[in-house]
Homo-oligomer: A and B are copies of this chain.
Amino acid sequence: MAYIELNNALPGITGLLENRTDTAAPIRELTQILLRGESTLTELERELIATLVSYGNECRFCTSAHAATVIALGGSEEMLDKVFQDLDHAPVSEKMRALLTIAAKVQRLGKEVKDSDIDRAKAAGATDTEIHDTVLIAALFCLYNRYVDGLGTYRPEDPAYYQRLASRLVTIGYGRPKEGVRNGEEAFK
């Protein structure tokens, strides 16, 4: 159970967002714009950034949720393993390798990003907007990962839970379901 009393028994970020809908609304909105809004990066590419950052921050709930989303969007376990462990040989475009390198640096500390990282991304065809969105997605998941783990939220072990969550993130996105999350998903104790 989380370090604070929540008004629901939902796990991870879902319980936090339902517990405080005033702060949840702008968090959801920002995520929807960045991960599902118009972009020259695919949803899979943007979810890969979110997953790599969550992995770097050792946030198991977010890593499991977004890894499942990457797979639901056509990615694979093998792709994820390479992105986590051997980015330079991951089966993604050179542009994505450069953007994921930037995201991994942002995860550690903003000032780790250097001119040479940006030059590499631009040489591989990344636009200013793609670089912007990569940095802001990485920064946003540094928020999420710390929110989820800093409050000690509950993390289900069952992979099927993350597959169901991923299915919702792919089909509905990051907005709040009209009846609230509690009516759309099972609760965990």
**A interface residue numbers (CB < 8 A to B):** 3-5, 19-20, 22-23, 25-27, 29-30, 33-34, 37, 57-59, 102, 105-107, 109-111, 113, 115, 118, 128-129, 131-132, 135-136, 138-140, 142-152
Contact = CB atoms under 8 A, between A and B. Distances in A.
Nearest to A102: B150
Interface centre among A111, A138, A147, A150 (most CB of B within 10 A): A150
Contacts of A110: 57, 59, 145-150
Contacts of A118: 3-4, 152
A115 B139 CA distance: 26
Given A57-B109, A150-B135, A128 B4 contact: yes
A103 to B, nearest CB: 9
Contacts of A144: 139
A151 B57 CA distance: 20
Given A3-B115, A3-B131, 14 more contacts: A4-B118, A22-B33, A23-B34, A57-B109, A102-B150, A106-B146, A110-B148, A113-B152, A135-B146, A135-B147, A135-B150, A136-B147, A139-B147, A143-B143
A119 to B, nearest CB: 9
25 contacts: A3-B131, A4-B128, A4-B129, A23-B30, A23-B33, A23-B34, A23-B136, A26-B27, A26-B30, A57-B109, A58-B109, A59-B111, A102-B150, A109-B149, A110-B146, A111-B150, A113-B149, A113-B151, A113-B152, A115-B152, A132-B151, A136-B147, A139-B144, A139-B146, A139-B147
